[in-house]
């Protein structure tokens, strides 16, 4: 797709530049956990096809494209799912969720990904780990509650 104004701003690209948008349903123990939507500059992932997205996205970036992730920022907020997201997560639209918006940079300071994930709010806790190193970003890690 062509970068809209909002996507271009997040990826630091000119409006209209080619970007790849992909949506993945994330599972934990076979259960729907999150719906993840990412935008990536098309120029950095030539030849990317749907089948490539079955495994680790960051491993693919590193191994095939030589892109080493250096940092990222995740903003977390409460959200209600739209109908399609609720259907994919097997919940109702009345079930509160977490929305996590991310921006990820490579070692050269280039934005390589802008993402938004909607996590179920009924079966997960998001934990933020604060790292003591100067300038280290907080990391959000989804964890299933013990039952």
C-alpha distances out from residue 87 to 1, 4, 31, 115, 145, Å: 25, 27, 13, 20, 22
CB 53 within 8 A of CB 26: no
What is the band of 137 on the pLDDT scale with cuts at 50, 70, 90? very low
At 28-64, the pLDDT tens digits run 899 999 999 999 999 999 999 999 998 889 999 999 9
* CATH code given to domain 5-144: 3.40.1410.10
Q: How much is the pLDDT for 131?
A: 66
Q: Average pLDDT in the 100-107 region?
A: 94
């Amino acid at each position: 797709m062509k970068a809209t104004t909002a996507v271009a701003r997040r990826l630091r690209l000119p409006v209209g530049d080619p970007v790849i948008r992909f949506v993945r349903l994330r599972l934990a123990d076979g259960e729907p956990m999150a719906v993840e939507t990412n935008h990536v500059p098309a120029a950095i992932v030539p030849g990317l096809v749907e089948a490539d997205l079955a495994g680790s996205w960051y491993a693919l970036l590193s191994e095939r494209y030589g892109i080493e992730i250096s940092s990222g920022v995740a903003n977390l907020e409460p959200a209600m799912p739209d109908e399609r997201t609720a259907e994919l997560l097997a919940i109702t639209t009345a079930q509160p969720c977490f929305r996590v918006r991310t921006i990820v940079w490579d070692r050269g300071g280039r934005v390589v990904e802008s993402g938004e994930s909607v996590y179920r709010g009924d079966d997960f806790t998001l934990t933020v780990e604060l790292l003591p190193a100067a300038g280290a970003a907080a990391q959000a890690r989804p964890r299933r509650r013990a039952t």
